[in-house]
Structure 1
């Protein structure tokens, strides 16, 4: 069913609640950073922010499912799931870089239909809803045209996060983008913030591997509502069943070029 005004209002309140939990911890973490089993960092701010969002959902959407990075999955009965990443970019958060974000998504029957990227320190909020123009702090935004892959601006959080077999494919895309300018490399760091920048016409491509649903669900409506496209490395749409190889392209005319460049890296496993 279509995203309702009340769905949007709830999503905005979720982002507000997360931001209120996160801001007091920014650059005040001390020695409270812990490592999870996969060696990724987690903080009290991550946990408090997700707990605050879950309390709201329990009160206002008790029949909907919830998937969150910190507290796992709560089954629902409506075919809808709220997908939460309280701090996407915890590593940046722990070192005081305000390029992390809270991600809130609504997924219906496996398809992301609403997404928020919220940067609670800089007070920047992207809202994407299927069938509507993406907004940044309430103002509609558009991605920018990109006439050719060569010379495009590409970003990724870090190739060190990729599966080993995916690195050559990513480097093949970087080579196609650099167009013989080896010193013109990717923009590194940024996590979800890169996708907001792409939606606001500051980047052309974002490429990442190994993402979970809570990492990418919110990004899809934001990028696509601004005129861009999100897909996996084979060019297929992103759903709850996607493997986690993610490509965001500001100008949809460059999607096939980027997918072809990724395929040219060879040696990778099957995606999609």
Structure 2
């Protein structure tokens, strides 16, 4: 726990700054939105949050690298011990610009290719989630009001709550049919999207979360939170994430079955 306690404390401070900026722009009438080269939206809040986080990290952790969605990798990309922070200033930008409160700032610390600490702050929901290797996972409004997290004990698909990204993305990935089969076989299926499904999984509120296409900043912060809550997190090929830009997160009991069913459906 002590190994990453200072890093988690810093992540909370970074999230405090991010929350103050993003909430001031949420549902603002003068919010400025542009299309990036990949045609995904970016708001002035996205860029302002990332700039602020980078500024604090430059002062507090000058030897650590930074990778962010809006401004890429710092130079050098990683610092002493190959430590680097991975930032998604606003995960769920489409929700943010439409006034939907399910969006958040994702902050991860990686050592080499391994995420060792992660924090998700969703200020419009009044909630945070955080975890680090050997530390456990927690959720609450802040560090002083936290509940330890644990995944569910569900062992059968027929009893499971199944969460997924958009069906269009699964169709593009050539795995729509096995997705539909899992949805039919599960107790309940919902598409909460972005970070939120993974956090509900860590809380034990649902049992499976899958996505076929992700970037490093979408997933790095989620992995320590899910795994420290007792869950399993891999890519679609079964490699420990972050892997090929996809994700299967489960309570552990259901992982091999979901992995096998989606792998068999690959076009």
1:215 aligns with one of 209, 215, 218 = 218
1:172 aligns with one of 174, 178, 182 = 178
Partner of residue 134, structure 1:
137
Going from structure 1 to structure 2, the CA distance change for 1:2 and 1:91 (only over 3 Å counts) comes to: same
1:148 aligns with one of 156, 160, 170 = 156
Partner of residue 25, structure 1:
25
Structure 2: which 5+ runs fail to align?
141-145
Structure 1 residues 12-54: Cα deviation after superposition (integer angstroms, max 9, x where no partner): 1111111111001111154622111111111011011111100
Task: Say whether the 8 Å CA contact 1:158–1:189 is kept in structure 2.
Answer: no
Partner of residue 61, structure 2:
61
Distance (whole Å) between structure 2 residues aligned to residue 57 and residue 211 of structure 1 = 24
What pairs with 1:91-110 in structure 2 (closer than 5 Å)? Answer: 91-110=94-113
Per-residue deviation, 1:177: 4.3
Partner of residue 5, structure 1:
5
Task: Say whether the 8 Å CA contact 1:67–1:83 is kept in structure 2.
Answer: yes
What pairs with 1:233-244 in structure 2 (closer than 5 Å)? Answer: 233-239=236-242, 242-244=243-245
| Superposition TM-score, scaled by structure 2 size | 0.91
More strand by share: 2
Distance (whole Å) between structure 1 residues aligned to residue 33 and residue 95 of structure 2 = 12
Task: Say whether the 8 Å CA contact 1:3–1:129 is kept in structure 2.
Answer: no
Distance (whole Å) between structure 1 residues aligned to residue 98 and residue 6 of structure 2 = 36
Counterpart secondary structure, 2:124: coil
Across the aligned residues of Structure 1 and Structure 2, the Cα RMSD in angstroms comes to: 1.9
Task: Say whether the 8 Å CA contact 2:4–2:132 is kept in structure 1.
Answer: no
Per-residue deviation, 1:178: 2.2
Partner of residue 270, structure 1:
none
Distance (whole Å) between structure 2 residues aligned to residue 229 and residue 159 of structure 1 = 23
Counterpart secondary structure, 2:108: strand
What pairs with 1:184-199 in structure 2 (closer than 5 Å)? Answer: 186-199=189-202
Structure 1: which 5+ runs fail to align?
268-272
Number of residue-to-residue matches in the alignment: 259
Distance (whole Å) between structure 2 residues aligned to residue 132 and residue 31 of structure 1 = 38
Per-residue deviation, 1:120: 1.3
| Superposition TM-score, scaled by structure 1 size | 0.89
